[in-house]
Amino acid sequence: MGRRVDVAVIGGSAAGLAGALQLARQRRSVIVVDDDSPRNAPAEHMHGYLGREGTPPAELRAIGRDEVRSYGGEVLTGRVLDVRREDDRLRVALTGGSSLLARRVLVATGITDELPDIPGLRERWGREVIHCPFCHGWEVRDRRVVQIATTPMGLHPTPLVRHLTDRLTVVVHDATGIDPDALRTLEASGVPVVDAAVRRIADTATDTATDTALGIELEDGTRLVADAILVGSRFHARVGMLAGVGLSATPHPSGLGETLTVDATGATAVPGVFAAGNVVDPSMQVLPSAANGSMVGAHIAFSLAHEDLAAGARPSAGEEDWDARYAEERMWSGNPNGTLIAEVSDLTPGRALDVGTGEGADALWLAEQGWTVTASDVSSRALRRLDEEAARRGVEVRTLHADANSIRPYGGERFDLVSLQYGSFPRTPEGRGLQSLLDAVAPGGTLLVVAHDLAWAQEEVDPAETTRMFDPEAFVGVARFIAALDADGGWRVDVHETRPRPAGAVSDHHVDDVVLRAVRVG
């Protein structure tokens, strides 16, 4: 399966989500793919983020995901394996065999931190073992801190930490390239400097014997006690998936790792591929990473808008994606949906609107039952197929090329039946599309919404194995219809239940339907 999208964002953390939010608000279709391994995953709280100080990192990401989804942007759990040019698009290959065909790619994959090879460091990383005075320095103020210097850049944060605590000791584990003058300056300022390799880190009882702290065991057997250990990491940009477009990371000026090189707009050397966040600059904390993602998202929006302007086009990514899906042979069975038949058979035929009609099996069946049918869809290709079938059967159905989220998609007309069968349209914050459907129901008319039961979407997937190709949270589902009917107050809900699909399960995931049938009484 290949879904067409304006922008594929690889990495759904600070940089990726901020970029996606900008793009979704520019009416660009955006799909974020994230394998849930952000750099700060071990940290319980995130510090230095104005407006969200101390928030758990996972909470910030959850808020960001919901903001992206509120504009119809999708956030998929999965992993990007490969990016390759394919005609005028970039094919983004995902675990599980599916792919995205994107006009632009935003790489926001961050970095991995490689810690010094000292036993006991890795398991304490992000808690007692820290690297960034701006992230954790306040939390260790006045505490016993041992810094283990392993690289020439190792002493870079030391003056900051010295200012936060007067109980700092520097252990020079590897003196290669470390400036002896800098060490002398530190000692002269009152910071003990120990020139010794570290053998391992272990828990140790403190002098009060009631508390445990960290024991830093040196090669000569001496043990230093600390509440926190400061180390520097080497970093590696997560860009393996870009080899197919000829992109790789280049050495960072610090000598501590590699990053992706970009220009001031976030563009890489490969047209259409942009990058933001730690993958281009490992020194960025969460707030600057989000700001950078936001800025690069805006530049991507400009680049798409200029391209469309030059082509004199105003393409709808939603229509392109659906048209591509309808490009092949007939997509659906051609049979009307069983739940539609069950719910509509007792209604007196009148005017019906079938939203998201696709190839129109439901619309044709309604027309054959005596309804005067308007069948709407975002895909003109699907509607052509419906017109052909209607002509073949000698049935009259009016087709309407409309996006549910546009203004007055149904021209202010009202219908005795508005039916949405397994249809989906993206969320907007004010619920424009949803309101248009409700507005289209005449007084005394029926709204019928049938959707797949999405209980499966709550199940966790292993991103290394598979990518879930649809994000229900980015679309208007039955729960949002119910909330809107409640808020409106002028409706009687006759049916709201989950029941087996009359046609049987389509797959393990599509066993049950959620059915909402309501009548406008107000």
Contacts of 516 (CB under 8 A, 6+ apart): 447, 448, 449, 450, 478, 481, 482, 493, 495, 496
Closest CB to ligand FAD among residues 8, 383: 8
Beta strand ranges found along 327-391 (DSSP E): 351-355, 372-377
CB of 238 to ligand FAD, least distance (A): 4
515 scored as a contact of ligand FAD (CB under 6 A): no
- Residue 277 touches ligand FAD, criterion: CB under 6 A: yes
Least distance from ligand FAD to the Cβ atom of residue 452, Å: 25
**Residue 465, Cβ density class (10 Å: 0-12 exposed, 13-18 middle, ≥19 buried):** exposed
Tokens of 61: 């990401």
501 near ligand FAD, judged by CB under 6 A: no
Is position 39 an interface residue for ligand FAD (rule: CB under 6 A)? Answer: yes
10 binds ligand FAD, rule: CB under 6 A: yes
With CB under 6 A as the contact rule, the residue among 22, 29, 70, 109 that binds ligand FAD is 109
Among 80, 301, 397, 437, binds ligand FAD (CB under 6 A): 80
Distance CA 266, CA 206 (A): 49
* Interface with ligand FAD, residue 38, by CB under 6 A: yes
358 touches 383 (CB < 8 A): no
360 near ligand FAD, rule: CB under 6 A: no
Instruction: Please check whether residue 110 is in contact with residue 282, taking contact to mean a CB–CB distance below 8 angstroms.
Output: no
**Residues 204, 212: Cα–Cα separation, whole Å:** 5
- How far, in Å, CA of 63 to CA of 26, rounded? 20
Span 433-462, contacts to ligand FAD by CB under 6 A: none
Of 138 and 302, the one with the shorter C-beta distance to ligand FAD is 138
The residue among 312, 308, 331 whose CA lies nearest residue 379 is 331
Q: How far is the CB of 346 from ligand FAD (least distance, A)?
A: 49
**35 contributes a contact to ligand FAD by CB under 6 A:** yes
Residue whose C-beta lies closest to ligand FAD: 277
Q: Does 350 bind ligand FAD (CB under 6 A)?
A: no
Angle (nearest 5°) at CA 484 between 483 and 485: 95
Largest CA distance in the chain: 96
14 binds ligand FAD, rule: CB under 6 A: yes
What is the enclosing helix (H) or strand (E) of 413? none
Note whether 116 binds ligand FAD by CB under 6 A.
Answer: no
Q: How far is the CB of 435 from ligand FAD (least distance, A)?
A: 34
Exactly one of 4, 25, 28, 47 binds ligand FAD (CB under 6 A); which one?
47
Q: Which is nearer to ligand FAD, 38 or 356 (CB)?
A: 38
Asked if 19 and 9 touch (Cβ cutoff 8 Å), the reply is yes
* Residue from the set 3, 79, 103, 452 that interacts with ligand FAD by CB under 6 A: 79
281 lines the binding site for ligand FAD (CB under 6 A): no
Among 289, 374, 376, 428, binds ligand FAD (CB under 6 A): 289
Q: How many residues bind ligand FAD (CB under 6 A)?
A: 40
- Between CA 234 and CA 114 the distance in angstroms is 5
89 touching ligand FAD, by CB under 6 A: no
Q: Minimum distance between the CB of residue 272 and ligand FAD, rounded to whole angstroms?
A: 18
CB count in 10 Å sphere of residue 145:
24
The three-state secondary structure class of 48 is coil
Beta bridge partners of 94: 80
Residue type, position 447, single letter: L
Residue 46 or 304 having the CB closest to ligand FAD: 46
Q: How far from 192 is each of 144, 168, 185, 222, CA to CA, in Å?
A: 12, 7, 11, 15
CB of 373 to ligand FAD, least distance (A): 43
DSSP line for 92-161: EEETTS-EEEEEEEEE---EEEEPPS-TTSGGGBTTTEE--HHHHTGGGTTS-EEEEE-SGGGGTTHHHH
Q: Is 238 in the site for ligand FAD (CB under 6 A)?
A: yes
Q: Of the candidates 108, 140, 245, 352, which one interacts with ligand FAD according to CB under 6 A? A: 108
Report the residue from 5, 6, 7, 12 that binds ligand FAD according to the rule CB under 6 A.
Answer: 12
- Using CB under 6 A as the binding rule, whether residue 42 contacts ligand FAD is answered as yes
The interaxial angle of helices 14-25 and 57-69, nearest 10 deg, is 20
Which range binds ligand FAD by CB under 6 A, 258-266, 282-290, 412-420, 476-484? 282-290
Based on the shown chain and the rule CB under 6 A, indicate whether residue 113 belongs to the binding site for ligand FAD.
Answer: yes
Contact footprint for ligand FAD (CB under 6 A): 10-16, 33-40, 42-43, 46-49, 79-80, 108-110, 113, 125-126, 132, 135, 238, 241, 277-278, 284-287, 289
